Structure 1
Amino acid sequence: MNSQPKTTDLLSQLIGFNTTSRNSNLDFIEFVGAMLEPYGIKPELTFDDNKKKANLFATLGGGNQPGIVLSGHTDVVPVDGQNWSTDPFQTEIAGDRMFGRGACDMKGFIAICLTKIEEILAADLATPIHFAFSYDEEVGCLGVTGLLDELKKKPVQPKACIIGEPTSMGVIRAHKGMSFRHCCVRGKAAHSSLVDQGVNAITVAAKIIAYVDSIQQRIQNEGPFDNEFDPPYTTLHCGVMHGGTVNNIIPNQCEFEFEIRNLPNQSTLPLWAEIEAYIKTQLLPAMHAVSPDTGIDWQTLSDAPPMDTPADDSLIPMISRLLDSSAAPGKVSYGTEGGYFQIAGIPTIICGPGSIEQAHKPNEFIDLAQLKKGERFITALISSLR
């Protein structure tokens, strides 16, 4: 049985907002606010420094009791360079699938939440349900911290959080952390025939990347390991690199970005320290011998913490009962905002419609049956909170 037309119609509207992380999400947030307004619900907004993006937090029912947070991010990844068969911001239903950027990750979950507004309010809940919709999750979970800072000021804190990232409606209790950094190598330009007079920024960057890869190979062989993750170890990866102008000039600048996705029990700090020590002892002396103006500069783009909800936390069997599932909770290598909620003292699990296999890809889709499972889950949650 597929989802209700109300959900698919609303999801189509949400996908129509191009909330790629580089864009404002205010139209999306205002749309959600307009849905809440007829019920006398005034959402609380927290903005970025430029007032072009906002988080939304709203409480439905339940008075001043500790509630359950339903959390989702409003931003989506870019479609640039992807070969889509349809307009990514105009939905299309083909067979049992609904296509569009964000259909799976993760506007499907937000659509389900919003279609349940009347159902939540009609239930006259003893325990409130909170909507927490953030910005800039896809670029390092940058928005949610402002939302949580405001939440900490409230006299009553939520007792649990469900983040609706795509898990095929399975329960996820842990994920890796994400630490992203930008590196700029400042070399010295020279004619390519005079290599002894220049410092090749690309060559230096390549040495750093190769060293990072050697750390990855060591961890892959020696651990530490947690076999509930796939892969079962911390990973290091360089994904972006730019440098040079023409082939006959020794490049004086090269920039690259890389990440560490760490197991919850392995801190990134010793790994960063190891990389920095290699740079300080093995690379900078030779660079400075040619020119003291050369150097290597670092910028931290994000440091999103891992999430690790204990296997015996009472939240897990509660969610499993609502799903009518006996499956053991899992662990995933992708990141979410769950670590931030956990640091704020809010027990958190990940559970949402759609498969992570479809996220970030061209022709992203969500199975209509997954939307239906999500609808049933939220209805069961509402009933349990009366």
Structure 2
Amino acid sequence: MTNMTHARAILDRLIAFDTTSRNSNLALIEWVESYLSEYGVTGHRVANEDGTKSNLFATIGPMVEGGVILSGHTDVVPVDNQDWSSDPWITREESGKLYGRGTADMKSFIALALAWVPEFAKGAKPIHLAISYDEEIGCLGAPAMIEQMRTSVRAPRLAVVGEPTSMRLVTGHKGISVYKVEVQGAEAHSSLVNHGISANEHAVDLMHSLVELSRELKAKADPDNGFDPPYPTLTIGVMQGGEAANILAGHAQFQFDLRCPPGFAPDELLAPFKALCEALDKELSARFPQAGASFEKLADAPPLSDDGSDDAIAFVQRLTGENMPPAKVSYGAEAGQFQQGGFPTVICGPGSIEQAHQPNEWIALEQLEQGTRFMERLAQELA
């Protein structure tokens, strides 16, 4: 069996696990552990608090310095209400493409890394697999694994996070912070506005202030920073509130994310908004004891920069054979967390982000072939 064929078989198996972020990923983790054990490799779990999900990291080859981390996340986004033309949990090949949820983002990279375990095991330098959970909902799983790897893995040369980049080298991504705002009002008949508090009304005011902030950030952008778009983006993705048109809304909540290039501090940008929420909380609770407002950070992942990554960049350029300047991307990823953990880090993986999260998600077979050549050259570098 060729490595390409082996990777395809592993990908079929990985896609079959419904690892949507709301679900457990333990069945997939158990399968990977069993696969690694066939080659004498022991994985180390780093579970979440209730044990329903887990990261997994493992060293293939000798425990010496100078190895390479290959990192990927196991979770995928939902397929709910998407118009798929085939079962999203079964890979389907058609016209040079493989269809299935996670083919592009990012089980193909994990499959390629696993397919090359037998070759990596022969190397003089190790490969450190790092497989995470809950990347899609705020990069929540990886930090605990990275913290353990800092003390148990001997000084890797670099980390490669295999997000879909069409095998192009990426040296920068935006950070992402996710927040939830809740407003508790006081229900009353909508004709008696002085007898209650509309949570919706105050939530709209708060959202308006965020829209104004978003416009300010856009106006102050550095157009030459390499990101598209170049400015920090603030988007309100969830809005909920009220029960009926003729009732003052008793409760409203919304969630938003802020995605910043390196050099921005999200907490500083949002400090005036946080103060606004605190002032509103005091104002509303003074009128009705049950009323108020809260502001909560749900997730916070740092950006990736190219600082201190010259050796990592040159190393991966040899593997890809790429002569183009490294790119930057506007999506968030775990690469910034690996860099924050002290590992020189880049992003490079098969598939395109344009196919990720879509119905009929797909990866071109040609991308798997490029990924196979990448792993082959990596094994040669570590031999």
Length-normalised TM-score, structure 2: 0.96
Report deviation, 1:95: 0.7
Which secondary structure state, in structure 1, belongs to the residue aligned with residue 258 of structure 2? strand
Which secondary structure state, in structure 2, belongs to the residue aligned with residue 307 of structure 1? coil
**Partner amino acid for 1:164?**
G
Which secondary structure state, in structure 2, belongs to the residue aligned with residue 141 of structure 1? coil
Alignment counterpart, residue 358 of structure 1, candidates 334, 346, 355: 355
Report deviation, 1:195: 1.1
Q: Partners of 2:101 and 2:153 in 1: how far apart? A: 38
Paired residues for 1:295-314 under 5 Å: 295-310=292-307, 313-314=310-311
Count of equivalent residues? 382
Paired residues for 1:298-377 under 5 Å: 298-310=295-307, 313-377=310-374
Q: Partners of 1:241 and 1:77 in 2: how far apart? A: 20
CA RMSD of aligned residues (A): 1.7
Q: Partners of 1:205 and 1:383 in 2: how far apart? A: 57
Report deviation, 1:291: 2.3
Match of 2:192 in 1: 194
Match of 1:134 in 2: 132
Match of 1:279 in 2: 277
Match of 1:269 in 2: 267
User: Deviation per CA, 1:208-246, whole angstroms, max 9, x where unpaired?
Assistant: 111101011111112355530000010111001111111
Match of 2:378 in 1: 381
Q: Partners of 1:5 and 1:312 in 2: how far apart? A: 33
Report deviation, 1:277: 2.5
Match of 2:95 in 1: 95
Moved more, 55-64 or 151-160: 151-160
User: Deviation per CA, 1:298-342, whole angstroms, max 9, x where unpaired?
Assistant: 221101111112386111111111111111011111011111111
Match of 2:151 in 1: 153
Which secondary structure state, in structure 2, belongs to the residue aligned with residue 152 of structure 1? helix
Paired residues for 1:66-105 under 5 Å: 66-105=66-105
Report deviation, 1:358: 0.6
Match of 1:244 in 2: 242
Report deviation, 1:143: 0.8
Q: Partners of 2:356 and 2:247 in 1: how far apart? A: 41
Gaps of 5+ in 1: none
Match of 2:177 in 1: 179
Report deviation, 1:286: 5.1
User: Deviation per CA, 1:137-156, whole angstroms, max 9, x where unpaired?
Assistant: 11111111111121122262
Q: Partners of 2:297 and 2:223 in 1: how far apart? A: 26
User: Deviation per CA, 1:120-160, whole angstroms, max 9, x where unpaired?
Assistant: 22xx3121111110111111111111111211222623221
Q: Partners of 1:226 and 1:343 in 2: how far apart? A: 24
Q: Partners of 1:226 and 1:44 in 2: how far apart? A: 42
Are 1:173 and 1:311, in contact at CA under 8 Å, matched by a contact in 2?
no
Residue 279 and residue 297 in structure 1: after superposition, are their counterparts in 2 closer, same or farther (change >3 A)?
closer
Q: Partners of 2:223 and 2:249 in 1: how far apart? A: 40
Q: Partners of 2:211 and 2:222 in 1: how far apart? A: 16
Q: Partners of 2:129 and 2:209 in 1: how far apart? A: 44
Residue 376 and residue 181 in structure 1: after superposition, are their counterparts in 2 closer, same or farther (change >3 A)?
same
Alignment counterpart, residue 205 of structure 2, candidates 199, 207, 211: 207
Are 2:277 and 2:294, in contact at CA under 8 Å, matched by a contact in 1?
no
Report deviation, 1:270: 1.5
Match of 1:291 in 2: 288
User: Deviation per CA, 1:55-81, whole angstroms, max 9, x where unpaired?
Assistant: 111111133223100000011111112
- Identity of aligned pairs, percent? 42
Residue 42 and residue 288 in structure 1: after superposition, are their counterparts in 2 closer, same or farther (change >3 A)?
closer
Residue 334 and residue 146 in structure 1: after superposition, are their counterparts in 2 closer, same or farther (change >3 A)?
same
**Partner amino acid for 1:82?**
Q
Report deviation, 1:290: 3.5
**Partner amino acid for 1:342?**
Q
**Partner amino acid for 2:347?**
I
Q: Partners of 2:282 and 2:64 in 1: how far apart? A: 61
Which secondary structure state, in structure 2, belongs to the residue aligned with residue 354 of structure 1? coil
**Partner amino acid for 2:275?**
A
Match of 1:4 in 2: 4
Gaps of 5+ in 2: none
Residue 383 and residue 115 in structure 1: after superposition, are their counterparts in 2 closer, same or farther (change >3 A)?
same
Report deviation, 1:284: 4.5
